[in-house]
A and B are shown apart, each in its own frame.
Chain A
Amino acid sequence: MDRWARRWLRERKIPSTACVGCGLGQVHKKVLMAVEQLKLGVGDVVWGTGIGCAGRQTFNTWKGDNFAGTHGRVYAIATGLRTALPDDKKIILTVGDGDAFGIGLSHLLHCARRNLGVAVIVADNFGYQSTGGQYGFTTPLGCVTDSSPYGTREQGWLQNDIDILTLLKDAGATFLARHSSFEGQNAVDSVVKAIDNRGFSLVHFIYPCVTHFGAISLGSRDKEAVYRWFERLFQDGGDPRFRSGVYHDARGSRPEFAASLREWTERVSKENSTTTGKRFD
């Protein structure tokens, strides 16, 4: 464990339990680099995670305060936490694609609608890999997985004319970006903007899974071959949905949910205070 990692991560959780060749560590490191770039201290961030590869491998790695929600519910927990914590406390959520775009999508959209001050980092490995490799909501059409032995047939969130980021933009998100895990400073820059935004931000990272997606859908466990396949997705002139960079930047355009709720509550409290509102503690 190098000195840089020791500064941010709990020694007990290093090395990660992620599979050899997993791209998740690259995503996690970019978020930590963004935290460092923002000159935040360990006490400035509360880190939340979900279930699945992204949740399990990143839970409690952060040296500061941590929580992990059940599948898809971390956004609702963050809504309550954001309301209770002061504005300057950052909340970062590291979640998987099933968590964000499947089971938790309703909560996620409502966070975007409210412009909740959280930075959601979606680490997308194209399906449910920690349960063995079933297709998810971004798995490319036609992919063979453990639950689509004849190829996927469902329209996903990243096919034809559909892009999940458009949906989140329409729902009210104020910062959205997409990157591959193997990008460099440009990806870190997006995460910096996401964390710095006083509103709802989401950065969609696509990262390679060698163990399941590579082995079953791509037919290879060879790390280099799998990485090359993912790299081609983001090549210039390719599918526009896999163009990396900032997708939508409307930082500062709308009030942040909890801050505005606090402000409003203070006003109502002053104008309508009653004697029966006493708390006897």
Chain B
Amino acid sequence: MKRLFDTGNAAITEGAVMAGCRLFSGYPITPATEIAENMSRRMPQVGGYYIQAEDETASFHICIGGALGGLKAMTATSGPGYVLFSDPYGWAIGSEVPVVVVNSQRVGPVSGITGAPGQGEFYLSRYPTHGGNFETIVLAPAGVQEAFSMTVEAFYLAERFRTPVTLLADQIVTDGLESFDLPENEEELRAMGLRVIPGKAHAGPCFYPATSEIDIPPVRLGRNTGGACSDWTPTEEGYDTEEVEAQVKHAYRLTRKVLDHRDLIDRYEGTCLEDDPDVVLVSYGSPSRVMASAVKKARSLGLKVGGIRLKSLWPFQDRLFARRAVYLTVELNLDGQLVREVQRAAGGSAVHFIGRCGELPTAAELVEAVIGLSEGCFPAPKLWERWAW
């Protein structure tokens, strides 16, 4: 095991290399550029390919082409590039192509600030393309070590579910420097709870079964199997069709294959939830680290408070919000995205929201909010950034 001191971008690069990624195509954008730079150095070293694309749309499509040819592929971007992924996302989801997609979120909308973190693509990562009738798999790292491990996991899930898997990070995670462990052999990798599976080829020509089965190798081209894939509604042999029944089967497959196997996807970290706390903070990514400090501090003050850190965002883990409590989501946005989903999942429980735009809230602010909520009243907003939901 190597101990390194490096950025989340470096950890993502090493995770991809270990997972067997041998094609990276990207387009420079802060704060994800470093992944492309690292990949341009690392890919040729391990016999892989780096292709700097003409735009983000091309970068994702190049990855799709590489995956169809049998290479494990990854692309990385930030919000302004992520919206351009809308087109290839649809293709990869519909044709069931495994690709890993990294989005290092920065404050927006549009270009916003290149060096300030954001969490504005929570819903966009759920519906990254048009048409609906699909489920997405999204993981959210909160630190450099997790950026490494979740990248390896993303490749694993992409292969098993044959679908693009998104790593929804933020600028603090990808630019932040931390020490992390890098395994040097398979045993060490397994000891970390990580698995790598080889990319396989589907024998074809059968395109997909209208079932929720996973572990069906994806279609590969160039092996003379009569494999076919496209953006059209496919029949089970891959032919394009205008039949609604075929679209219904396709939609069933794209939604159920994810939902019926969510035990492989669902990940979260609970803090101090054992004694049914009155107030539960909810977060993901960088703000969850502030949240952890705030829960610890509030507990030391005798407050019955807990925390839920979501490590996988989609499919959304509704079951985590079944307990009666006062919820407070902590987010890097002002419009409140996670809060809406928690509110939907929490049923009758009260749900509040603290959002900050472009920077993290402080632990003291969160503790103050928890004290208020424990006393039955959400503190009156003192800053324009703090809104009661």
Contacts and interface: CB of A to CB of B under 8 A. Distances in A.
A79 B51 contact: yes
A24 B84 CA distance: 32
Interface in A43-86: 43, 46, 49, 51, 56, 59-60, 63-70, 73, 76-86
Given A65-B222, A80-B68, A273 B45 contact: yes
Contacts of A51: 231
B196 A280 contact: yes
A131 interface: no
B62 interface: yes
Nearest to A275: B184
A279 B18 contact: yes
B69 A76 contact: no
Interface stretch (A141-149, A159-167, A172-180, A264-272): A264-272
Label chain B's interface by main secondary structure: mixed
Label chain A's interface by main secondary structure: helix
B221 interface: yes
A43 B204 CA distance: 13
Contacts of A279: 17-20, 46, 196
Nearest to B17: A277
A277 B65 contact: no
B44 interface: yes
Contacts of A69: 61, 91, 230-231
A65 B223 contact: yes
A272 B228 CA distance: 38
B68 A76 contact: no
Interface bracket on B: 35 or more
Interface residues of A, number: 51
Nearest to B73: A80
Contacts of B62: 76-77, 79-80, 83
A280 B49 contact: no
Interface stretch (B52-60, B256-264, B327-335): B52-60
A16 to B, nearest CB: 13
A110 B45 CA distance: 25
Contacts of A220: none
A255 to B, nearest CB: 15
Contact of B240 (A65, A68, A83, A110): A68
A65 B67 CA distance: 14
Given A65-B224, A261-B51, 13 more contacts: A43-B224, A65-B226, A65-B227, A67-B228, A69-B91, A76-B59, A79-B61, A80-B62, A81-B65, A84-B71, A110-B54, A272-B45, A278-B185
29 contacts: A13-B239, A46-B221, A46-B222, A51-B231, A56-B240, A67-B229, A68-B230, A70-B87, A70-B91, A77-B91, A79-B58, A79-B62, A80-B67, A81-B66, A81-B69, A81-B222, A83-B62, A84-B68, A85-B222, A110-B54, A266-B47, A269-B44, A269-B45, A273-B45, A276-B14, A276-B182, A277-B46, A280-B186, A280-B196
Please name the 3 residue pairs, one residue from A and one from B, whose CB atoms are nearest each other, closest first: A84-B69, A80-B65, A43-B224
